[in-house]
Chain A
Amino acid sequence: MKRAVWIVRVVAVLILALVWEWAGGQGGAFEDVFPPISSVLGAWWDVVRQPSFGADVRITVREVVGGFTIGSLAGLFVGSAIGTSKWLTRVMEPMLFWASGVPKIVLLPILLAVLGAGVALKVGHATLSSFFPVALGTATAIRTVPEIYGRVSRTIGARTWHTAFLVYVPAAAGQILTALRLGFAVSIVSALLAETAVATAGLGFRAIHYYQQLRVPEMYAVILTIFVVAMVANVALERWVRVYTRHFEDDRGARVDIAS
């Protein structure tokens, strides 16, 4: 069965590559908008060897990491506050949920007025985007910790910070890490999207710059590189979170050391 699955995958990729190469090689206007895969691969090799490509990668990584760090810290704080308060859960969480469905790219003009057109704009956009999934996920994670955990730790005399860090955090760790993973994925998308709109550097800017210059093979090369790298990073993070949280489940979550 496993062999059949791998055969299907390899055949599918080969068919896709062959169809792409054939369709792109038809020439005429079609080749301008859908270049053959060999042209795209050749353009990819030319693009990644340019020194400016490395600089663009570093700028994009800085924006993503900066935006995710600020957004996730704020999200963890707000999510914890909401998750530990029944009133805040009932009043604020639905409003946060509605706000999370709004495409943050439409707030770009406001962010532009506040933060300017530099790196801060992309960091701000990534912050705004990553905040919501982290806040909502953290609130849900804390709320779903069984009440019995808290009651047991209070019964045996654990202090508040013992209960918080040795009981609630391990119990909620799995869902919080999943929320952080989602926040990271979203901050990648939003930093790159903001670069396509307002930027002078970065991978998103490079892709849209090639589009505006009608350098189509280069545009395909950069976009597909971004897409594949983001997908691989996402899958790797998801696997890591799954393995890491299995460790907490094996450990049965909480261990409370009481200072005597």
Chain B
Amino acid sequence: MAAPVRTRSPSAGRRGVDYRLVLSRTIIILAGAAVLELAARSAWLPPTFVAAPTRVVGSLVKGFSTGSLVSALWETTTEVALALLLSGVVGLTLGYVLWRSRVLGEAFMPMLTAMFSSPVILLYPIALVLFGRTHRAIVVQATAYGVLPIIVYTVRALSEVPQVLHRVSDVECLSAWQRARLVMVPAAAPTLATGLRLGVTYILISVVAMEFLVQIGGLGQLIQLSALRFDIPGVYAHVLAVVVLTSVVISGLQAIERRVQQ
């Protein structure tokens, strides 16, 4: 389903939604689905890797009615939420410590920045060995992946707070708590929001990927199980569920980030 776009176009409605854009995207998606439906039903493309969209929707409906999709969504969402809580607490704390101590910051930030764009997800066999094939391994691995952008952006956010605000806080004799609550957090909020958004994105990717590879539960496991049963509509249906979940989470986080940056 095409998502509304906020824009200042003259064709925008009262809430700033450009209906021409929504219509264009909907037409493109429906046209693509129609071509796929035709290709699948007339066997232009082999049924081993293309499923008719109507059958995919049928598979989705079946998944919801039997409850398997709902429980998988719940498992995935719970793992993401736990990993976000852990990486948020650890990331914000470590970020603050690295900002406060110039020596520690200069010593470790280059390494953390390098690790930020490194294949942390490839460490998942180590998580499996340490925690077994359990949900704990998924949460720990996702936390390790999501904590890095949170640390990096926390340091950046606190470093970007203008010096004049620190001086004003000194002049007003604010306590440490007042300084944090009234000055630091509001000033750092936009960049912190970006870091948290990136953290959640990385966590989501890590959770779904590990569920797929290790088959412990969640949406990732459903995709693998459908593939093993040669249930191609099921594979596409569950991939679509991942796409929708990812899109909803990313869109929601972007909206929060834009709100904070205003």
Contacts and interface: CB of A to CB of B under 8 A. Distances in A.
A102 interface: yes
A230 B220 contact: no
B118 A234 contact: yes
Given A8-B104, A112-B227, A207 B121 contact: no
A114 B205 contact: no
A102 B246 contact: yes
Number of chain B interface residues as a range: 35 or more
A6 B18 CA distance: 55
Identify the interface centre among A8, A98, A102: most chain B CB within 10 Å of its CB: A102
B147 interface: no
B204 to A, nearest CB: 7
A193 B210 CA distance: 10
B53 to A, nearest CB: 14
A105 B209 contact: yes
B247 interface: yes
A102 B107 contact: no
B119 A192 contact: yes
Interface string B1-20: 01101010000000000100
A208 interface: yes
Main secondary structure of the interface of B (DSSP, over half): helix
Contact of B205 (A6, A101, A219): A101
Interface string B118-141: 111111011011100000000000
A94 interface: yes
Interface in B186-226: 201, 204-205, 208-209, 212-213, 219-220, 223-224, 226
Nearest to A110: B49
Interface string A103-143: 10111111011100000000000000000000000000000
A252 interface: no
A108 B223 CA distance: 10
A239 B3 CA distance: 38
Main secondary structure of the interface of A (DSSP, over half): helix
B246 A98 contact: yes
A94 B5 contact: yes
A103 B208 contact: yes
A70 B260 CA distance: 38
B213 to A, nearest CB: 6
Given A9-B107, A103-B209, A105-B209, A113 B239 contact: no
A185 B119 CA distance: 8
B243 A99 contact: yes
Contacts of A99: 243
Contacts of A207: 122, 125
Given A9-B107, A106-B212, A182 B117 contact: yes
Nearest to A30: B130
Contacts of B103: 1, 4-5, 8
A211 interface: yes
B117 A109 contact: no
Contacts of B201: 101
A18 interface: no
A234 B114 CA distance: 7
A41 interface: no
Give the top 5 A-B pairs by smallest Cβ distance, nearest first. A109-B227, A113-B49, A8-B107, A189-B119, A231-B118
25 contacts: A1-B102, A4-B103, A90-B18, A90-B21, A94-B25, A98-B247, A99-B243, A105-B208, A105-B213, A106-B209, A106-B220, A106-B239, A109-B224, A110-B49, A112-B227, A113-B46, A192-B122, A193-B121, A193-B209, A196-B122, A197-B213, A219-B129, A223-B126, A227-B122, A227-B123
Given A97-B250, A189-B122, 15 more contacts: A5-B107, A8-B108, A33-B130, A91-B21, A91-B25, A91-B28, A106-B209, A106-B242, A108-B212, A189-B119, A207-B125, A219-B129, A223-B122, A231-B114, A234-B114
